[in-house]
């Protein structure tokens, strides 16, 4: 990672703030919403101070991307949106590998993946993001 860069990983924060509370997607939605509300001004302050921030947060809907946009716009910071444009099969394989590695505090089932993916909206040009696409 580049100097003066902070990584903020949603899963790490959720696991620490809400241990043993996230068992279903609705639990995640509730806790993630609280986390985003709490972190927004902190992230903005980091950006305003000239620190680069890597947000390891889902940006799979226009709403979640709008949250990030509001932060970097308030801070007057530039941005990049990294978009993994890969098939569901590739995503499932990566998810299963993540689940078995034990490196993530949460496991996601194929059923949960299907439910989450049903809400996916690819970034559109009219959202105005600087997209770095990986195929």
pTM, 2 dp:
0.90
Q: Which domain holds residue 51?
A: 5-134
pLDDT of residue 106: 93
Angle, vertex CA 91, rays to CA 86 and CA 96, nearest 5: 160
Per residue in 84-130, pLDDT tens? 999 999 999 999 999 999 999 999 999 999 999 999 999 999 999 99
pLDDT exceeds 90 at position 29 = yes
User: Using CB atoms within 10 A of its CB, is residue 135 exposed (0-12), middle (13-18) or buried (19+)?
Assistant: exposed
Averaged pLDDT, 60-73:
97
Where does the pLDDT of residue 2 fall: very low under 50, low under 70, confident under 90, or very high at 90 and above? Answer: confident
CATH code of residue 46:
3.40.50.300
Averaged pLDDT, 41-62:
97
Cβ(107)–Cβ(100) under 8 Å?
Answer: no
Where does the pLDDT of residue 1 fall: very low under 50, low under 70, confident under 90, or very high at 90 and above? Answer: low
Query: CA-to-CA distance for 135 and 36, rounded, in angstroms?
Result: 28
Query: CA-to-CA distance for 64 and 3, rounded, in angstroms?
Result: 27
Q: Count structural domains, the chain.
A: 1
């Amino acid at each position: 990672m580049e100097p003066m860069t902070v990584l903020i990983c949603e899963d790490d924060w959720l696991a620490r703030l809400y241990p043993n509370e996230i068992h279903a997607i609705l639990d995640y939605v509730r806790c993630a919403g609280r986390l985003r509300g709490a972190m927004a001004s902190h992230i903005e302050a980091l950006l305003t101070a000239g620190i680069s921030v890597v947000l390891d947060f889902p940006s799979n809907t226009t709403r979640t991307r709008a949250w990030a946009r509001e932060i970097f716009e308030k801070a007057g910071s530039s941005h990049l949106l990294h978009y993994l444009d890969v098939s569901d099969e590739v995503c499932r394989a990566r998810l299963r590998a993540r689940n078995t590695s034990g490196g993530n505090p949460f496991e996601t089932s194929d059923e949960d993946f299907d439910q989450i993916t049903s809400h996916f909206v690819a970034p559109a040009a009219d959202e105005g993001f600087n997209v770095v696409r990986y195929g």
